[in-house]
């Protein structure tokens, strides 16, 4: 067979599975009071001792957040914001409003502020954060108030019309914590700090207000549940605070499982987990760590815990809000102390590299961002501080970010007369401007060039003179970044070398009770996706061998390249097996 084939490309891939039931590694050959009442009062009154020096130096230069709105009347916002379909941000204050019982507001990306609803005690007091329902309404809970004083579940229309859906009465839980989590069938899931069993509950509530207690936390937990996060397996994950802190999983039927013991989640703030694209959960501890100023940690759904960041004052202290996953795969969050004065906004990679993006530098411009940040569709970060500002009752802030490359342009190998396309994706505050470069010189539209000032560069009917090194400069008002270089090689013959390939390794290990449909990948266990590029509308043969000395070459797949010259092959490789791949095609005419 090989005598009739032109061998095009050869590479080796080895897959090593370290632990079939836990974390996988792949290698390419290339203390607080037990009573919840003081804690509830702690939330409402927003009291915290200032035990850090406000003059602690920051690790790096950073921005100062832009103030969009100053609150007054002891409003004290402390929950995360949520972006609505209209591009505005919606949030709550624990105070202010009618008799200091809390309110719901919206703010445009540029700071136009509107109070939408106020609470009157019977319909609730001191609301938690909002979530957007599939019906376009907002849903949330209040910490206190309602018919029994133990909190409520409410719905708010975009125009501010407020409807109380359910009242907590201690028998069905008391003092709901964190934001509700919407599920695919339209119901919502949440937790209460306490109830008849003292240690809290997990509940489900429908859009019409039917409230069901799914689980009661046992007294052995000796801590209180925070908010929930939906996992890839359809179960909910969370952490507890105020005692023997734990990470837990609870199914929609109420089966509660302890995943891991944690430490440092002493207050009801940094109690939420954030699901990452890698299937693991990331969270913060309010205290604890090497300096007792808080940490960022990772926990797998099987309970393996890794500390990623120890806050030390200079890089922030006491991370009160949860983490937000950005489209760039990084996490964004806040600390309420540390930095240059009282609070920071930070970015963190999944391996724990932390960058301070902004510092809260003086009280007049807001301090202590309890609610974390929300990434807006425009690429900026939005959040609130619990105090400071001109009214000393908190602010709404915005942090604008310079561009960074989300997806680099890829090198291309094209035959004469084909079309070559280079695409870049960027993240940061929009809008962006683009300038493509060929061999370091600015390109302009004309002849066969289109998109020299857009994110997509198209070269039509390419000739050998069109080959070269291509890059793009992405710019916004806050900075610029230059992409990696992508090389265009124009092939003389119709069936020349395939010199572009991409390998993606997937792993979907299943635990007891999981189904293959519950995760993003339908294949249980590791498999490999190979993506190739060659001559458009040409046929190729993909082969593999287990070694390069005695193994024969086996045919894996025969494929025809698409109109753009690309095709893909999936190989369900066995864990621990080594494979070499090559691509071949008939000889060039």
Instruction: Give pLDDT, residue 505.
Output: 59
Instruction: Give pLDDT, residue 536.
Output: 67
SS (H, E, C) 536-559: CCCEEEEEEECCCCCCCCEEEEEE
**Residue numbers of the chain with a pLDDT score lower than 50:** 1-60, 494-497, 499, 507-524, 588-589
How far apart are the C-alpha atoms of 440 and 427, rounded to whole Å?
23
Task: Express each pLDDT in 134-186 by its tens digit.
Answer: 999 999 999 999 999 999 999 999 999 999 999 999 999 999 988 999 998 88
- pTM across the whole model: 0.80
How far apart are the C-alpha atoms of 58 and 65, rounded to whole Å?
15
Give DSSP secondary structure letters for 396-439: EEEE----EEEEPPPPEEEETT--EEEE-EEESSSP-EEEEEET
* Phi and psi at residue 41, to the nearest 5°: -60, -35
For the chain, state the CA radius of gyration. 27
Instruction: Give pLDDT, residue 49.
Output: 35
How far apart are the C-alpha atoms of 35 and 206, rounded to whole Å?
30
How far apart are the C-alpha atoms of 188 and 180, rounded to whole Å?
6
Instruction: Give pLDDT, residue 460.
Output: 95
Alpha helices of 75-226 — where are they, by DSSP H? none
């Amino acid at each position: 067979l090989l005598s009739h084939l032109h061998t095009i490309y050869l590479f080796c891939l080895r897959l090593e599975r370290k632990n079939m039931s836990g974390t996988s590694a792949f290698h390419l050959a290339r203390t607080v009071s037990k009573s919840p009442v003081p804690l509830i009062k702690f939330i409402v009154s927003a009291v915290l001792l200032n035990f850090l020096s406000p003059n602690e130096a920051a690790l790096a230069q950073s921005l100062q957040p832009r103030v969009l709105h100053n609150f007054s009347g002891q409003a004290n916002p402390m929950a995360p914001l949520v972006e609505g379909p209209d591009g505005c941000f919606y949030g709550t204050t624990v105070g202010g409003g009618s008799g200091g019982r809390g309110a719901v507001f919206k703010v445009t990306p540029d700071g136009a502020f509107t109070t939408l609803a106020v609470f009157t005690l019977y319909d609730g007091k001191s609301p938690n954060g909002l979530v957007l329902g599939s019906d376009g309404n907002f849903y949330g809970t209040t910490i206190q108030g309602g018919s029994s004083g133990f909190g409520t579940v409410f719905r708010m229309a975009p125009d501010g019309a407020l409807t109380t859906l359910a009242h907590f009465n201690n028998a069905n839980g008391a003092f709901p914590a964190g934001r509700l989590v919407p599920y695919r069938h339209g119901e919502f899931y949440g937790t209460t700090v306490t109830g008849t069993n003292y240690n809290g509950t997990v509940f489900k509530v429908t859009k019409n207000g039917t409230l069901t207690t799914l689980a009661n936390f046992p007294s052995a937990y000796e801590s209180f549940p925070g908010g929930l996060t939906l996992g890839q397996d359809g179960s909910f994950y969370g952490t507890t605070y105020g005692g023997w802190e734990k990470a837990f999983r609870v199914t929609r039927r109420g089966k509660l499982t302890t995943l891991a013991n944690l430490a440092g989640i002493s207050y009801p703030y940094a109690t939420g987990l954030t699901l990452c694209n890698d299937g693991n959960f990331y969270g913060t501890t309010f205290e604890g760590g090497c300096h007792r100023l808080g940490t960022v940690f990772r926990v797998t759904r099987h309970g393996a815990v890794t500390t990623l960041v120890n806050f030390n004052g200079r890089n922030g202290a006491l991370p009160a809000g949860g983490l937000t996953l950005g489209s760039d795969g990084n996490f964004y969050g806040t600390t309420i102390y540390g930095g240059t004065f009282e609070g920071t906004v930070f970015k963190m990679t999944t391996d724990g590299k932390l960058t301070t993006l902004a510092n809260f530098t003086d009280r007049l411009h807001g301090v202590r961002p309890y609610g974390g940040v929300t990434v807006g569709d425009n690429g900026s970060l939005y959040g609130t501080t619990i105090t400071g500002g001109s009214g000393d009752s908190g602010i709404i802030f915005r942090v604008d970010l310079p561009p960074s490359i989300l997806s680099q342009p890829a090198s291309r190998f094209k035959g004469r007369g084909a079309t070559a396309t280079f695409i870049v994706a960027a993240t940061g505050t929009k809008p962006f401007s683009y300038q493509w470069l060929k061999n370091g010189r600015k390109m302009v539209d004309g002849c066969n060039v289109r998109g020299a000032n857009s994110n997509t560069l198209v070269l039509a009917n390419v000739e050998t003179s069109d080959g070269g090194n291509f890059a793009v400069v992405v710019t916004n008002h806050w900075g610029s970044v230059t992409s990696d270089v992508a090389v265009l090689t124009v092939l003389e013959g119709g069936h020349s070398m395939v010199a572009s390939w991409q390998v993606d390794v997937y792993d979907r290990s299943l635990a007891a009770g999981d189904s293959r449909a519950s995760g993003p990948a339908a294949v249980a266990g590791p498999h490999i996706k190979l993506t190739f590029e060659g001559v458009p509308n040409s046929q190729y043969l993909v082969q593999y061998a287990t070694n390069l000395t005695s193994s024969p070459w086996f045919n894996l797949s025969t494929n025809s390249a698409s109109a753009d010259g690309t095709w893909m092959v999936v190989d369900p490789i066995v864990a621990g097996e080594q494979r070499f791949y090559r691509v071949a095609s008939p000889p060039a005419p």
